[in-house]
């Protein structure tokens, strides 16, 4: 465990040296730190197992170590699985506590994902399927959140933000489906988009895109 902690510290230094503006510690989806948090995967009988406070002990040690060397001006996010979607596993109310503890340990924002922790999980998918977890964490823990999961249009993004269900909205597959998603959203919302220089003369024919 000491070696893994040292590796996280080393990776954080390398991320800073490489010029990244934000890093996200993965406390979700069954990866190592996530496996400490879920009662379905953590069977330890020492001070790192048992109660949620104990199961959070090692992930929080990593959050604190990373925060201590990650520059103050750069945000640190943690990604959490808000539910295990399995009997006896993590549920929404646990996510509120996990978020609160992570922020207290030095994280700046919580990226609220779900599941992928145990093979027997029964996920509930659908439009914006993880946004209710972000909404709950944001309002009950009173911490900044990101939401992600089946969010497709710029209008959906703005609706989530305006309703206060998250502070940031993250899209994954939408960018795979349309690599120009950001440009298309900007155009739809009336932002100016520069043409590449060799097409600059087109500006006079497409005034909206100047
Ligand atoms: C090809 C692909 C690879 C992904 N890899 C990761 C990953 O390594 N770590 C992670 O946290 N999420 C990963 N995700 C999940 C996304 O971060 C995101 O939570 C998920 O796709 C739901 O958002 P979406 O509906 O906007 O795609 C991946 C998703 C896709 C489609």
Q: What is the pLDDT of residues 13-28, one digit of tens each?
A: 999 999 999 999 999 9
Q: Are 193 and 186 in contact (CB under 8 A)?
A: yes
At 80-122, the pLDDT tens digits run 999 999 999 999 999 999 999 999 999 999 999 999 999 999 9
Coil vs helix vs strand at 149? coil
Centre of ligand 1 to C-alpha 171, Å, is 9
> What's the pLDDT score for residue 201?
74
Residue-wise pLDDT for 139-197, tens only, equals 999 999 999 999 999 999 999 999 999 999 999 999 999 999 999 999 889 888 777 78
d(CA 113, ligand 1 centre) in Å: 10
Report d(CA 110, CA 108) in Å as an integer. Answer: 7
CB within 6 Å of ligand 1 — which residues? 29, 79, 113, 148-151, 171-174
**Is residue 114 a contact partner of residue 133, using CB atoms and an 8 Å limit?**
yes
């Amino acid at each position: 465990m000491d070696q893994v902690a040292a590796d996280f510290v080393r990776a954080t230094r390398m991320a800073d040296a490489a010029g990244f503006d934000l890093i996200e510690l993965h406390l979700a989806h069954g990866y190592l730190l996530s496996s400490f948090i879920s009662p379905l995967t953590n069977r330890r009988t020492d001070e790192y197992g048992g109660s949620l406070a104990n199961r959070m002990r090692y992930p929080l040690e990593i959050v604190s170590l990373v925060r201590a060397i990650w520059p103050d001006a750069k945000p640190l996010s943690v990604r959490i699985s808000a539910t295990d979607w399995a009997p006896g596993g993590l549920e929404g109310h646990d996510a509120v506590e996990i978020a609160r503890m992570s922020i207290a340990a030095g994280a700046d924002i919580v990226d609220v994902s779900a599941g992928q922790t145990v093979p027997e999980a029964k996920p509930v998918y659908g439009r914006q399927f993880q946004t209710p977890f972000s909404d709950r964490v944001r309002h009950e823990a009173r911490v900044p959140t990101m939401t992600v999961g089946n969010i497709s249009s710029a209008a959906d993004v703005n609706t989530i933000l305006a309703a206060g269900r998250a502070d940031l909205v993250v899209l994954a597959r939408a960018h795979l489906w349309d690599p120009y998603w950001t440009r298309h959203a900007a155009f739809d919302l009336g932002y100016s988009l520069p043409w590449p220089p060799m097409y600059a003369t087109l500006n006079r024919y497409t005034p909206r895109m100047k």
